[in-house]
Structures are given as structure tokens and as C-alpha cells.
Structure 1
Amino acid sequence: MRHTVLNAAPYSWRKPARAASRFWKEELLTMGRNISWNEAVQRVLRERGEPMRYEEIAQEILDQGLRAPTPTPAATVSATLSFSLQREGANSPFIRIDRGLYALRELAVNSIKASNATVSATRSAVVVAPEVTDDAAADAQSMGLINAFGMFWRRDEVHWNRTATRLLGVQQTGGVPVDFSGQAGVYLLYDGSRVVYVGRVTGARLGVRMWEHTRDRLTGRWDRFSWFGVRAVAEDGALGPLPGAGIAVDSLISTMEALLIEGLEPPQNRRQGEGFNALEFLQEVDPEITRQRNLDLLSLMQDRLRS
């Protein structure tokens, strides 16, 4: 479903009064997590009073406890916004300002000029930014075969074990961790910020392959790693199947470009860090590492008390 393309125009946003903000916070205490994603998105946007990116909305929802943590909150928010705009059109409570950027329709007080007409940014007007789409899905498509990735993860925050290594990551802080040890794709090893090795994993064994590098000739030469996986993350946190045969050339080219830009971070490429939050996962410290650090700290304190 395609919508009228509107050119971006100056907006003025009216922030809600403090009393209204307090009202929403008090109501959240009574409602807890019994609201839908759509309602949660509306509340965050109303409280902020200005446009927000979908991943920022997801983070705020988790921070406020409006919804229980999930493995893919940013993707869920993007899908919620897209579904509302596609299904409800002018009656949707949201407007899409730009790719990944959304606001509440009722908070827009200035008019927007379209390419062929001028429409009012009110609830009764059709105010939709360039082509309504699921921005998280669009981000994934532009990354080619890459369906999830992690950047500059720390080696010392993984509990390395041949059969039980877990590579834990979260899409948003406070989200449900996903184990990427069964991922397949390409990875980079770093000594500081310098790439020292590039490898690949064709089977679902990224965790095992990384563990091997803690014992081979590279063991003393790396302290961080990045990975780019081809298995997508489902809503329940499970990793999807490996891609089948017959890969399109354009998908392969997009994948190669994304790997080079995200992995090498060339200063003249503007895409790095702009709009791929639904695919990037932040490292989560393995609970076993946290437990061991706490035990070491307790032992140190006991030793000092004895001395």
C-alpha cells in the first residue's frame, strides 16, 4: 500500500503540560504492563512531545516498564507503527516524519506542504511521510544477507567453553538476551581497534569457532570481536534457518558493502551507525562471568579483613 509522498517541512511541536505528564506517569503505575504495544508507543511519544526514532521509543518503553522485555523490542515497535499507518491511514495516531522517525499526529500544530497539495497536520488529515513501510524490515533488507550483528564485543565478557560458550546480546538495554553462539556468517578479531583477523563460519557454530581462537595461535592477539550473522532473530529470540541456495547478486553486493562499512568504519561513509539498530545487538555479559567476578571480589575483601 503506497501513500502520498510528502516533502519534509518545518514542524512545531507543542509539549504536554507538566500536569499531563504527571498524569500519565501516575496512570502507568496502576496500568503496569497490561497495555498494548500501540498504547505504549503513544504514551512514550506523548510524554516526549516531539518526534522519536523507533529504536528510541522501544528503549523508553523498556525503561518505563510499559511492556515486558522481549528479544526484539525495536523491531516490534517498528512493526506496530507500520501496521497502524497501513491499516488506519488518516485515522492512525502516528505520523511518519522520515525513515525511522515518528510522532503523534495530534501534536503537530503546523501544516505540511505536499508535492501537489497542502494538508493540515491534524487528526483528520492524511499526514504520512515518504511511503509507509516497516523501517526495521527495510533496514534489514538494505543489509543484504546480514540479519543480525554485534560490534566490538569484549572477549573478557564471554565465558569460553568448548560445548557451552554463549554469545549473549540484547537489541535494547533491558531486553531479553539472545544467544548467538549458533550464528553463522563472518567475524573480525581486534587488538584494540586494529583488525588482526577476518574469519567465516558456514555452519551454525560461531560460538565454537570463537572458542577455538582462545586456544590457537591467535589467542594472545585479540581482545575484542565483531560478528555479522545470516540467521535472523525471531520474536521469541530463536535464530532462524540458514539462507538457502540461489543468492541474488544485488543481495550479495549489499552484504559485502555493509560488512566493509560497518566493520571498517570508513570516515567518509555516512551510513555507519545510522539506522541499523534493529539489526545490531549489544553485548550482554555472561552471567557466569558476573558470578565469578563477584566471587573474586568477595575473596579479595575476605583476604583484606584477615590481614
Structure 2
Amino acid sequence: MGEMTWHEAIQHVLAEKGGPMHYAEITDRIVQLNLRSSYGATPGATVISHLGTSINKQGADSPYRKVASATYALRAIVENPKPTPYVDEVAEILSSDDVEDVGLIQAFGMYWQRDAVHWRNSPAILGRQHIGAETVDFSRQLGVYLLHDGREVTYVGRSIDRPMGQRLFEHTKDRLQARWNRFSWFGLLRVTEDGRLVETQATLSIELVAVTLEAVLIEGLEPRQNRRRGDGFNATEYLQAEDPEIQRRQTHQLLDSLKAKL
């Protein structure tokens, strides 16, 4: 399928579905169908931005209709007289719920490989939302992290006074160096569309703190029989991307080995 604009891709996916979709589902399907050649660092944020801007500026002329928090459908489909259990009367605006209902945790990564990072004093901790999306360097991320030996959690730490990349690098040299081969992290800094990490202004409440703690426990400990997200936990999960420096070094080592045999 050829290259589409963001609006063309969104409408294609919603038409294919024939009903409401969460913006994250829309994003996943666009990537799965390879409707675009470039996705940027935060394709999910781009999708919801296009949806919200269209609704806010075009009003009733927008091809989209918001049917629930962060959930959208094609207006032509939901306004069909045939009733659908998914549709209710919700204000058609890009509410703060869509942008800020993420909670304290803005982004996270699960079971990233230690060997996929080129460890140095300021390592690059690279990840992306989807295959094809631009990579983001999370080395400056702040938050909570877990060290794993296989699937077992061996250490829980926080990166507040020092960023996550530096904290993880320290664990390659300290008493924990032989006790972990993977790590997970939960970040407090939001990822912008151009891949920068920025602080957010979150209003703390007992409920928000409880939701965050529950989410970290559920995701981090991952009960074998019930892999689910905590209620209200909508942070974006990132997939690990290997540091290109590792491949370059492996190539150089191979060339040096071949030269030595000549």
C-alpha cells in the first residue's frame, strides 16, 4: 500500500474497523499496514494530535468523532441510525484526559537487554514506539528501574539525582554487576514528538499515587497468570533498539580477525 498522509491513514484504519478505536490501536494498525514511510519519535502523539485538531477546528465538519476518552470513530459511521453499544454522547473536544490521563509514569520499557547497550559513563539507552519509528535516547530519563536476572527481579532502584543511563552504568561496575542481564524502567519525563525528554506538570493525588504504584508492581512483577496493566495506567511502552555502536564494534572486530589470518 502506498504512502498516505496521517489523515488518510487514520481514516483508512477507522473505516477498516467500522467502529470506535483507541488512538493507540489506530497507531498500531497504521504501522502494521505500513501506511507511512516515516512515523517520527511519537507516532501515538501525532495521531491524537491530528484527531483533536480536526475536531476542534472543523467541528461538525470533521470526519472524526470522539466517543470516549482517547477513543475515536469516523463520524459517518457513528452517526448512522443503527445503534452501537460503544457510542455515547461525549463532548467532541481534545480534552486534557487524552493528553494527561497517562498519570505519573509517562513512558516505560520492559525486559530490555543489557547486551544491547554500549556501556560507558553516558550510555545511549535507545528505544522506539514501533518498528520504523524514530529512536529516542532515554539515558536522561528519571524514574524507577528494575534489574532482572532472567525473569527474576534482583534489584529495584530510582534515578532522581542522577539520570537512568548513569545509574544503570554504575550497576555494571558495582556489587550487582553479575546479577542482572535485563532491566525495566518507568519514566517520569514525557517524550516530545522530536524525541526530547521534558518534565510534565502533574497534580498529585492519593488516587494517582496508588494507580502508579499498582501499575509499577503489576508491570514489574508480571504475575504469570495475569499479565495486565494497572487500572488507569496509560503510559506508552517503548521497545528497545540496539546501540549502533555495538554493531560497528562487532564489524571492526571481525575485520581485525580476518586481517590477522591473512
TM-score by length of 2: 0.80
- Greater mean deviation of Cα atoms: 53-62 or 72-81: 53-62
Residue in structure 2 matching 1:206, options 147, 160, 164: 164
Task: Return closer, same or farther for 1:283/1:195 CA change in 2, 3 Å cut-off.
Answer: same
Bigger Rg, which one: 1
| Mapped contact 2:211–2:232 kept (Cα < 8 A) | no
- What do you get for the CA RMSD once the two structures are aligned? 3.6
Determine helix, strand or coil for the equivalent of 1:70. Answer: coil
Residue in structure 2 matching 1:228, options 157, 163, 186: 186
| Mapped contact 1:190–1:224 kept (Cα < 8 A) | yes
Question: Alpha-carbon deviations, 1:112-170, whole Å to 9, x = none?
Answer: 1579xxxxxxxxxxx667565659954852x53111111110000000001x3010111
Determine helix, strand or coil for the equivalent of 2:41. Answer: coil
The aligned length equals 258
Could you tell me which residue of structure 2 aligns to residue 192 of structure 1?
150
Could you tell me which residue of structure 2 aligns to residue 42 of structure 1?
11
Task: Return closer, same or farther for 1:40/1:204 CA change in 2, 3 Å cut-off.
Answer: farther
Question: Alpha-carbon deviations, 1:273-306, whole Å to 9, x = none?
Answer: 9984x62111111111122334455567x48x97
**Structure 1 unpaired stretches of 5+:** 1-24, 116-126
User: In 1, distance between residues paired with 2:180 and 2:157?
Assistant: 13
- Greater mean deviation of Cα atoms: 186-195 or 104-113: 104-113
1:263 positional shift = 1.1
Task: Return closer, same or farther for 1:275/1:175 CA change in 2, 3 Å cut-off.
Answer: farther
Task: Return closer, same or farther for 1:110/1:49 CA change in 2, 3 Å cut-off.
Answer: farther
Determine helix, strand or coil for the equivalent of 2:217. Answer: helix
Pairing 1:121-132 to 2, within 5 Å after superposition: none
TM-score by length of 1: 0.69
User: In 1, distance between residues paired with 2:97 and 2:123?
Assistant: 30
User: In 2, distance between residues paired with 1:154 and 1:107?
Assistant: 44
User: In 2, distance between residues paired with 1:136 and 1:262?
Assistant: 25
Could you tell me which residue of structure 2 aligns to residue 79 of structure 1?
49
Could you tell me which residue of structure 2 aligns to residue 279 of structure 1?
236
The alignment status of 1:112 with 2:71, answered yes or no, reads: no
| Mapped contact 1:169–1:281 kept (Cα < 8 A) | yes
The alignment status of 1:69 with 2:39, answered yes or no, reads: yes
| Mapped contact 1:100–1:275 kept (Cα < 8 A) | no
Q: Percent identity?
A: 41
Q: Give the residue type in structure 1 aligned to 2:237.
A: E
The alignment status of 1:289 with 2:260, answered yes or no, reads: no
**Structure 2 unpaired stretches of 5+:** none
